[in-house]
A and B are shown apart, each in its own frame.
Chain A
């Protein structure tokens, strides 16, 4: 008599006769199935087998499964298996399990080969290329919708545009202004600490003005807008896609591109330069305030230095990027929204990937602008 640990199932095996006799007792349930299965698998399959189950108090599908597997194995080996002594209820369970026992199948999991890795790399690369092409297609959709709106003003959705301008622009002003103000403060603080060593404190004005007007003002605004607006576009369009509203629009003869994409991207195109300008002003104010507190440069001196020494080209270089960033953010957000499938999980996935892609693309575009302006000498 062997006791199987962690279980209330008992098994006694008599291997002496031409027929193996096994007497099972106790509860053959899911709690004991690991031990039971190991014991049953250890029974020989070269002789007929007789299982006496009279003392079994409880049989659930897990225990029945183990018996079925044993029976199938031995019958495949050409030996008979006889089960006796089960009560009618347990017989029913056993019959149900036998009827629905899945076919044995070879495991189709194999280790990843180099070819698999190459394949997934290739898929990722071609997926990236397809993504760029699709974004270009959305740019085309937006342009076409815009032209249609200009040539046929009645079809243009002015209300939607105003609504999105409010959502994208006006509501973003506080966060953009505070962010830029703090960036100005940080730049003045760090700049003054370095420049004081050379006695060149006054150059902190140039430092703040050039870095904010040229780069940081618009770039950080675009990053904040990417985070808050690209995700909002994806979530709004994606949830419409999930509830088949986009399909409903198509059947009603409404062009989803004109109704959803054009107002959103156009609103962003109009609002991002304004937000950038607000960020520039707030950044300069923050810088001026900190320069006054830290270095004693009065606001009047700051203004004079700013007007005399900082060329207006810096502002132009900064603001030129705004429409490009706006297009990138808007198109990536709308595209991701249209890619949402009919489940909530893909909505979440597309929303977060839209934010990541938009921020990444904005920074890549900014880097390309920097190279370009350096080459043309602006």
Chain B
């Protein structure tokens, strides 16, 4: 991701979000560049998920502008917005699969919006996405309640990828997974983002995920994006929270696990 002429796919300017009198974001700016994996970190209650929901249009900020793929999402009309929405996919924390549908039917839901798509091909494409998300083929016939937490996350990812999005939003993709499952998920995200040219917006608490997948990291604190940069740059930031986060015992363990070639700090 060496950055000559980086194209911004998401551009947030002066975002202010508040619930009642509680201000979550104030004057928040953030850019996400095409093809990168951006990890968003921050303490509990700093509004990481709120930020994700703001970009996805689930929450409307009180002030500021949200520009996705060159379109001002807050001022665009319904038709333009839904066109842009078809170009991203969202994976929620526990998959947010529709419980009355099988996994395959869940993945087919976004494909149903494609006019003139043959049902047999739709099924086959859904099976392909299920397989790409690393699920066994028979998982397609299962209902979400029959799957483990890790499999539900993968099914959620398969649904998010169903229409070949340009941007994928992932909310805590590795939360609640065992270390092996989490590592596998990190590799999956990394691999898909590289091979499909996906831009990934990733909210996480997991330092291993930051090390393993993310090109850039954005730290949310003091109601705005405090700092963005690579993992190496994070280590030099002089802010108490950032310092503690990236130099704590868990951070040291996570950075020790990274192959030497990537270790810069």
Contact = CB atoms under 8 A, between A and B. Distances in A.
Given A61-B128, A343-B99, A33 B121 contact: yes
Contacts of B116: 6, 31, 34-35
A31 B115 contact: yes
Nearest to B192: A96
A143 B145 CA distance: 35
A288 interface: no
Interface in A25-68: 29-31, 33-35, 37, 60-62, 65
A124 interface: no
A216 B21 CA distance: 55
A30 B132 contact: no
Interface in B86-128: 99-100, 111, 114-118, 121, 124-125, 127-128
B129 A344 contact: no
Kindly name the residue among A29, A30, A93 whose own CB sees the greatest number of chain B CB atoms within 10 A.
A30
Interface residues of A, number: 30
B137 A30 contact: no
Contacts of A33: 117, 121, 125
A132 interface: no
A30 B131 contact: no
B18 to A, nearest CB: 30
A163 B77 CA distance: 54
Contacts of B115: 6, 31
Contacts of B192: 96
A103 B136 CA distance: 10
Given A103-B137, A105-B137, A30 B118 contact: no
B contact face: mostly helix, strand, loop, or mixed: helix
B117 A97 contact: no
Contacts of B132: 61, 96-97, 100
Contacts of A134: none
A97 B194 contact: no
A92 interface: yes
Contact of B124 (A65, A96, A341): A65
A31 B113 CA distance: 10
B197 interface: yes
Given A6-B116, A29-B164, A30-B117, A102 B195 contact: no
Contacts of A171: none
Contact of A92 (B99, B128, B163, B195): B195
B195 A34 contact: no
A116 interface: no
A35 B196 CA distance: 23
A contact face: mostly helix, strand, loop, or mixed: helix
B195 A31 contact: no
Contacts of B195: 92-93, 95-96
Contacts of B145: 341-343, 345-346
Contacts of B125: 30, 33, 61-62, 65
B146 to A, nearest CB: 10
B121 A60 contact: no
A341 B146 CA distance: 11
Interface in A97-111: 97, 100-103, 105
A89 interface: yes
Contacts of B100: 345
A336 to B, nearest CB: 17
Nearest to A344: B99
A97 B128 contact: yes
B128 A30 contact: no
A96 B144 CA distance: 25
A102 B163 contact: no
Interface in A65-106: 65, 69, 89, 92-93, 95-97, 100-103, 105
A345 B101 CA distance: 12
A300 B22 CA distance: 66
B121 A34 contact: yes
Contacts of B111: 30
A154 to B, nearest CB: 41
Contacts of B127: 102
A97 B164 CA distance: 12
Contacts of A34: 116-118, 121
Nearest to B138: A105
28 contacts: A6-B115, A29-B164, A30-B117, A30-B125, A31-B116, A31-B117, A33-B121, A33-B125, A34-B117, A34-B121, A37-B118, A61-B128, A61-B129, A61-B132, A61-B161, A62-B164, A65-B124, A65-B128, A92-B197, A93-B196, A96-B192, A96-B195, A96-B196, A97-B132, A100-B128, A102-B128, A102-B130, A345-B100
Given A34-B118, A37-B118, A100-B132, 17 more contacts: A30-B125, A31-B115, A61-B128, A61-B129, A61-B132, A65-B125, A92-B194, A92-B196, A92-B197, A96-B191, A96-B192, A96-B196, A97-B128, A102-B131, A105-B137, A343-B145, A345-B100
User: Nearest 5 A-B pairs (CB), nearest first?
Assistant: A60-B164, A92-B195, A343-B145, A100-B131, A96-B195
